[in-house]
Chains A and B, each alone.
Chain A
């Protein structure tokens, strides 16, 4: 185990120490990585630099090229921004479904909570009051106007709170039941937002007469665009918004990576492997699962705030079951349990959905206007992709070490070392040499073979065992 994957000590001090030490170690760690896996590190560096330069390159070269020379599917600023939004969501859902192994089919609800947090707290919607806080909005302007940097933590708290509220009664359920309850939750939340348009309520000090809380079908707009240092980061500001999205996404990646390595992250993985054994090791399983739910939800909260602030509007139509499924497909295609995998899944799927299929549609109409438009079949295409993936590479594009082992090999407790080690080695690449050595060792030991036979035989056969 390398030094970088050392567990983080619990508590705020532990996290701060970890943050400082990782920052200080960064140049050294990079140099070590460069020595150890030169090709891979260089490729990643080039990829990262390209990703950061993409919005600029796109504007200066790619889009003009696509327009004037030859049409190629280069994603536009809006698409790249949505890549970032869905990247954050996929990373969040990966905490719930990938790390802790809890199937959440209503993840979109938390995205909605995030978006409506922005809609309530940064728009002229509640026009009868005027609360302008650290915002560039003129004092006295109707409505509540909080700045973006305050909305993000507020949305995280809101989404996490609802995550915990949903989780508390339901996380005792297992597997399918949890999936059904979360599915229902994901359906209910947007409907509630849709229907709180004419509320009559009279209880105690609260008197609501025909109150329009959520804008109903029309939703809420305009929502203030994010605003820092005199620059707006809304949909009309193109590149700036993309970079804000990138910053949020990098924050999400770092948070998720640190969570994975923390005490909590290890507890999640233990619970996913064997909940009873985890409980026996002293893991508070209820609390740990609740935290996975709450923390996962807070990522969707951030995505929601950014989406609403970026687009300047939100309606309940954005938050359909299809969105929950889309994020889940990103996680599964990319490689459930692996942060980089699910990120790739999100980027690819948004690209295919919003850039590639429309581009393909245009090419089709150039050939003949009667040809079908592939954008209309996006979910069909994703479905086929998913089925194909499950057939040929169920662990996803970039699998997590543990998930790959789970999907390809025998259930735990069976001593079939050779096959398991070999399969993983093929995936792990660099680890292959060590792994194979271990595997050969395993085969070489003769008495182990004897044990394998023993396990599979009926338990009563072992000599020395008293009558049962």
Chain B
């Protein structure tokens, strides 16, 4: 059984048919990437999984349990947490308070080891625990957004455009860390415009175009696919 399974979901923004039957699955331990251009429906897919949007049709299952139609907070409690597009850290809270908010869905006392894990992944954040998140640089905010999502101890981590607006060297760093997070046992669904980098660390990929999955394969095959290269990798 797939950890996360999405079957034929249709999501609308008012009258706009944004997702036209997206079907995909994420297996335990994988990094799966969802690639597509601006407006293809990548973020819409993640928002539908998180419960922020409701699909008009289709089903979403987490380990066989149906989660579409649940409220966002219930979905987080079941182990699906999202690092949103544009980071959306709580700007006037400190770095540490942001991480505490990330652990909000956990009712038990959060062990310090969990904070340490995030700080070990992102040593830059450890140096800035008491600093207001809004005063962090873009790269640090992205780290914080990922770390905050990790604090909910998710089974599946949804990452929405973690490379957006970052300098190339930082993008590389972030992707290395995503790989590390995955290796320590967290399944990752990664939405990216930066197809080259995403396919570089993913096991499998889906190509989304105008709200539909047009292609899916292992990351290596997709990276070698001519059409994909032309459309998303800037190759010729």
Contact = CB atoms under 8 A, between A and B. Distances in A.
A442 to B, nearest CB: 6
A434 interface: yes
Nearest to A431: B130
Contact of A462 (B86, B109, B167): B167
A interface: dominant SS: helix
A413 B137 contact: no
B89 to A, nearest CB: 7
A285 B193 CA distance: 30
A463 interface: yes
Which of B71, B91, B102, B231 is the most central at the interface, judged by chain A CB atoms within 10 Å of its CB?
B91
Interface residues of B, number: 65
Contacts of A438: 128, 130-131, 135
Contacts of B72: 279-280, 282
Given A414-B134, A420-B132, A466 B194 contact: yes
Nearest to A463: B168
Given A266-B100, A415-B135, A284 B71 contact: yes
A416 B165 CA distance: 15
Interface stretch (B4-12, B18-26, B77-85): B77-85
Nearest to B96: A1
B130 A7 contact: no
A414 B233 CA distance: 29
B42 to A, nearest CB: 12
Interface stretch (A76-84, A325-333, A346-354, A447-455): A447-455
B122 interface: no
B139 to A, nearest CB: 5
27 contacts: A266-B101, A266-B104, A273-B90, A274-B91, A279-B52, A280-B84, A280-B149, A282-B152, A284-B71, A402-B92, A405-B92, A406-B92, A409-B134, A413-B87, A413-B89, A415-B141, A424-B132, A447-B170, A451-B138, A451-B167, A451-B170, A454-B138, A462-B171, A465-B163, A466-B234, A467-B234, A468-B37
Given A284-B71, A459-B165, 19 more contacts: A1-B130, A7-B100, A273-B90, A274-B91, A278-B101, A280-B88, A281-B102, A281-B152, A283-B104, A402-B93, A415-B138, A447-B167, A451-B138, A463-B168, A465-B163, A466-B194, A466-B233, A467-B37, A467-B232
